[in-house]
């Protein structure tokens, strides 16, 4: 009972510590490739400190959702980090973090953001919220099917068990089922966390915004939580994908050496994956909103093929 709790604490501390660094690395990579010098790796951390120390505002007629939504997003992202096997695959026996629970916790954050977008009653907030929910709805089948495909050889839908079984049977890493599912999952991560080509996190043009439009009215502490919460989602989902694709160095238990190796391994994998993602983004333009469903339908097809293949191969 104590050991899984220790793992959860390690996951939370690790996620909160690594997230600003990850965002910093991604922004710096992008800036350097575009020929800018950028704000440096520590800039997201400084932004966060500044925002959290500033006062938030409230307009007349606002509802409690204004206060609750940023905190709900933050909490849902933290629970996500606690349940996903970032450093160790030792899971809490009564909440092992199976696929559907993890996805539902993720959706809780999605809903908090969408409600916040509607709360202010502005046109941009509603627009962002509407687009965000359409994308979330269309991503859902791909998420469930791609992890379903990976769960068939493992015989379990618990994420930790899947990572562990892939680690023990390394031959399963390079087969077509696994590759198709991982590619589909990458598209999911890109769509869920609002990266290019689905959404441009650095945009200043309101009409093309999705994520930014929803948080346009927030400021100060609220904005700080919203930013950190959204970044943590990226850490959690990217961490899940790298640990599924390259399950080396993930600890099996709560031993000190194992955890240290796990932390070091996941840090390297996460930062490398983040830098790669940022480097790819330099060469991509944002898709038109109504082309996004085609991308998601493509990823759904990959996931579906992967499930069918998993039944025929294994």
Residue 40, H or E segment:
none
- Is 300 one of the binding residues for other proteins (CB under 8 A)? yes
Task: Give the range of 28-36, 54-62, 258-266, 279-287 binding other proteins by CB under 8 A.
Answer: 54-62
Q: Applying CB under 8 A, does 217 fall inside the site for other proteins?
A: yes
Give the C-alpha separation, 227 to 218, whole Å. 10
**Lookup: tokens for 184:** 């589909």
Q: How far apart are CB 175 and other proteins at their closest, in Å?
A: 15
Window contacting other proteins (CB under 8 A); options: 57-65, 188-196, 246-254, 272-280: 57-65
Least distance between other proteins and beta carbon 293 (Å) = 5
Assess 219 for contact with other proteins (CB under 8 A).
Answer: yes
Q: Which residue has the tokens 């089922």?
A: 177
Residues 119-148 that bind other proteins (CB under 8 A): 119-127, 129-131, 133-134, 136-141, 143-145, 148
Choose between 198 and 271: whose C-beta lies nearer to other proteins. Answer: 198
Cα gap 303→181, rounded to integer Å: 5
65 contacts other proteins (rule: CB under 8 A) = yes
Side-chain half-sphere of 75: how many Cα atoms within 13 Å? 8
Please select the residue that binds other proteins; options are 6, 31, 33, 71, rule is CB under 8 A. Answer: 71
Q: State how far the Cα of 54 lies from the Cα of 56, in Å rounded to an integer.
A: 7
Binding flags for other proteins, 238-277, as an x/- string (CB under 8 A): ----------------------------------------
13 binds other proteins (CB under 8 A): no
Could you tell me the smallest distance in angstroms from the CB atom of residue 299 to other proteins? 12
Answer for the pair 242, 270: CB distance below 8 angstroms, yes or no: yes
Contact status, residue 269 vs residue 86, Cβ threshold 8 Å: no
Q: Which of 132, 229, 144, 231 is nearest to 188 (CA)?
A: 144
Q: CA 163 to CA 204: how far, in whole Å?
A: 39
Give min distance, CB of 137 to other proteins, in A.
Answer: 3
- Cβ-based nearer residue to other proteins, 41 or 143: 143
Q: Which is nearer to other proteins, 109 or 274 (CB)?
A: 109
SS (H, E, C) 8-21: HHHHHHHHHHHHHH
- The contacts of residue 145 (CB under 8 Å, 6+ apart) are 184, 300, 303, 304, 306, 307
Query: Of the listed pieces 25-33, 115-123, 162-170, 182-190, which binds other proteins according to CB under 8 A?
Result: 115-123
Locate 47 and state its tokens: 């932004």
Residue with tokens 């690790």: 14
- From candidates 31, 33, 45, 56, binder to other proteins by CB under 8 A: 56
By CB under 8 A, what part of segment 140-199 binds other proteins? Answer: 140-141, 143-145, 148, 151, 156-158
> Of 147 and 270, which has the nearer Cβ to other proteins?
147
User: Is the peptide bond prior to 197 cis by the omega test (within 30 degrees of 0)?
Assistant: yes
Nearer to other proteins, 41 or 111 (CB): 111
**Alpha-carbon distance values, 191 to 135, 144, 202 (Å):** 7, 14, 15
Is 53 an interacting residue with respect to other proteins (CB under 8 A)? Answer: yes
């Amino acid at each position: 009972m104590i050991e899984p709790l220790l793992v959860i604490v390690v996951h939370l501390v690790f996620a909160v510590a690594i997230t600003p660094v990850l965002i910093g690395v991604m922004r710096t990579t992008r800036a350097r490739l575009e020929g800018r010098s950028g704000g440096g790796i520590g800039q997201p951390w400084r932004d966060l400190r500044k925002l959290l120390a500033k006062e938030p505002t409230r307009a007349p007629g606002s509802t409690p959702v204004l206060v609750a939504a940023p905190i709900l997003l933050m909490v849902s992202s933290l629970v996500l980090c606690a349940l996903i096997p970032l450093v160790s695959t030792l899971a809490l026996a009564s909440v092992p973090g199976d696929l559907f629970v993890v996805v539902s916790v993720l959706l809780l954050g999605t809903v908090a953001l969408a409600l916040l977008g509607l709360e202010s009653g502005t046109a941009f907030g509603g627009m962002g919220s509407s687009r965000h929910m359409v994308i979330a709805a269309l991503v859902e089948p791909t998420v469930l099917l791609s992890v379903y495909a990976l769960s068939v050889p493992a015989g379990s839908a618990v994420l930790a068990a899947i990572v562990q079984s892939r680690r023990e049977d390394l031959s399963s890493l390079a087969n077509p089922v696994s590759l198709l599912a991982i590619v589909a999952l990458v598209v999911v991560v890109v769509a869920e966390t609002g990266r290019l080509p689905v959404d441009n996190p650095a945009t200043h043009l309101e009409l093309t915004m999705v994520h930014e439009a929803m948080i346009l009215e927030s400021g100060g502490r609220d904005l700080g939580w919203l930013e950190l919460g959204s970044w943590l989602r990226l850490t959690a989902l990217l961490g899940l994908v790298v640990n599924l694709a390259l399950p080396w160095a993930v600890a099996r238990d709560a031993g000190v050496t194992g955890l240290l190796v796990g932390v070091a391994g996941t840090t390297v994998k996460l930062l490398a994956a983040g830098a790669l993602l940022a480097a790819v983004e330099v060469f991509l333009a944002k898709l038109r909103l109504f082309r996004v469903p085609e991308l998601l339908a493509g990823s759904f097809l990959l996931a579906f093929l992967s499930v069918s293949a998993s039944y025929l191969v294994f």
